[in-house]
Amino acid sequence: MTDQKFGDLSALLRAVCAARSEVEDARRAKWSPGVSAVAAEQRLLLAALEQYAAALAHLGRPMPYRMRDEMAMYRAMFSTGRQR
C-alpha cells in the first residue's frame, strides 16, 4: 500500500469535520416526511471516519476514543441486520 492511497491526515481530518458539519446542518434543516437527508449525511460522515481510521492504522497511530465510538455508533446504525 502506498501512502498516497491514504492521503494527508490533516486533509482527512478536515473531511471528517466537514462531514460532521453537514450532519448538523441536515439536522437543523426543515425536512419532509419520508426524506432523510440526515441519514445520507451520516453515511458520508461514516465514510470519512472510515478513511481517517484506515490512514491512522496504516501509520500505526491509535484512533481517538471519541472517533472510534462515533464510528461504531454509525456502523451499528447502518448495519444490515439492524432491528427496529
**Domain range summary for the chain, segments of one domain joined by +:** 3-77
The rounded distance, in Å, linking the Cα atoms of 36 and 24 is 13
The rounded distance, in Å, linking the Cα atoms of 15 and 22 is 10
Which of 61, 43, 45 lies closest to 53, judged by CA? 61
CB 22 within 8 A of CB 3: no
Question: Which residues of the chain carry a pLDDT beneath 50?
Answer: 1-2
If 0-12 CB within 10 Å is exposed, 13-18 middle and 19+ buried, where does residue 16 land?
buried
- Determine if the pTM surpasses 0.85: no
pLDDT of residue 75: 94
